[in-house]
């Protein structure tokens, strides 16, 4: 979806006529709907609209207020994001205890190489608070003594800090549809396996137990289906014969940080789009490493290819 469209998200209880009420309001204001997607999960309804508001017959504030009033009437939450809402996008990072991904994001931000501001770190433990303090970024611990997060507080913080993108930097909790539906294609997670292999918890251990020779990591958009969202970037590494969990983390964690940062950059620059559950680059560019490095690709053999062998080709030419 192009970045010059306005995104309207509706989340709440499923009600008859809801879609018609929203679309009629937009039509009356001269707004053309380019794309509409809806879903229901765990009794929560979500509708995401992308619309051309360049020729609408009202001001942005009026449209926002009208949609908010309609949402209040219907008992649903309505969010509106215009293309030029801000020049610098705001990132909310969700984390638990592992620091490597958060540290890599902070480094890129501090060097001016991120293209957005990290406005807040939200975690379900307080272990990473010193790291956030080092970079003078607000930190909020929303977990109880067992690390169970308060999702209501998470949503309040995401609204308070006006998050454009949510980055899960090894956040070891599953987000409910109430959160995911509000940020469609705007939540990026890093998972320590080459998805779709080894989804869920303890992915490195799963890979070891299955005896894989090559393991890896995957940055992907979050959906309501665990570890099944559209894949953005992947990285791979060899698994030695004597590998243990420590070895896997030592080899995998730098790649986790690298793949996550690259996925975030792709999203922020508007260089990646999602269509039918699959991501694609809007414009092919050598600066992005979605999978193997150039060195790894160059090391792969390019022959033989089925049907291109000299004997088979010669036989076909001779009519044998």
Catalytic site positions:
227
CA nearest neighbour of 135 among 158, 95, 98, 104: 104
Determine contact, residues 184/9, Cβ cutoff 8 Å.
Answer: yes
Percent helix, strand and coil across the chain, each rounded to 5?
Answer: 35, 25, 40
For residue 14, the SS3 value is coil
Assigned token pair, 182? 């509000």
Residue listed under structure tokens 């709440």: 12
Backbone φ, ψ for residue 309 (5° rounding): -65, 150
How many Cα atoms occupy the beta-carbon half-sphere of 199 within 13 Å?
12
What's the CA gap between 101 and 268, in Å, rounded?
17
Backbone φ, ψ for residue 239 (5° rounding): -110, 110
For residue 48, the SS3 value is strand
Determine contact, residues 164/116, Cβ cutoff 8 Å.
Answer: yes
What's the CA gap between 22 and 46, in Å, rounded?
13
Which long-range CB contacts under 8 A does 192-195 form with residues at least 24 apart?
192/217, 192/248, 192/252, 192/256, 193/217, 193/218, 194/218, 194/234, 194/236, 195/220, 195/227, 195/228, 195/231, 195/234
Query: How far apart, in Å, are the Cα atoms of 229 and each of 13, 146, 159, 251?
Result: 23, 27, 23, 24
């Amino acid at each position: 979806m192009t970045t010059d469209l306005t995104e309207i998200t509706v989340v709440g209880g499923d009600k008859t006529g809801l879609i018609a009420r929203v679309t009629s309001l937009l039509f009356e204001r001269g707004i053309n709907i380019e794309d509409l997607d809806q879903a229901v999960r765990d009794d929560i309804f979500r509708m995401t609209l992308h619309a051309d508001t360049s020729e609408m017959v009202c001001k942005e504030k009026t449209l926002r207020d009208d949609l908010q009033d309609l949402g209040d009437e219907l008992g649903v939450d309505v969010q509106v994001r215009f293309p030029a809402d801000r020049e610098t996008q705001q990132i909310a990072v969700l984390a638990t205890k592992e620091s490597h991904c958060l540290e890599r994001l902070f480094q890129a931000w501090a060097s001016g190489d991120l293209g957005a501001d990290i406005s807040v770190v939200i975690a379900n433990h307080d272990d990473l608070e010193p790291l956030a303090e080092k970079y003078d970024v607000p930190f909020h611990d929303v977990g109880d003594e067992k690390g169970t997060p308060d999702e209501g507080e998470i949503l309040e913080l995401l609204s308070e800090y006006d998050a454009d993108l949510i980055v899960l930097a090894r956040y070891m909790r599953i987000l409910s549809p109430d959160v995911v539906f509000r940020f469609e294609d705007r939540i990026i997670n890093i998972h320590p396996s080459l998805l779709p292999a080894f989804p869920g918890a303890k992915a490195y251990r799963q890979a070891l137990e299955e005896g894989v020779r090559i393991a890896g990591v995957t940055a992907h958009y979050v959906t309501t289906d665990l570890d099944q969202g559209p894949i953005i970037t992947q990285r791979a590494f060899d698994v030695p014969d004597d590998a243990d969990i420590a070895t896997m983390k030592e080899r995998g964690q730098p790649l986790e940080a690298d793949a996550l940062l690259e996925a975030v950059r792709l999203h922020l620059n508007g260089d990646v789009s999602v269509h039918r559950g699959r991501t694609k680059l809007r414009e092919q560019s050598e600066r992005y490493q979605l999978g193997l490095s150039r060195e790894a690709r160059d090391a792969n053999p390019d022959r033989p290819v089925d049907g291109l062998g000299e004997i088979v080709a010669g036989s076909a030419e001779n009519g044998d």
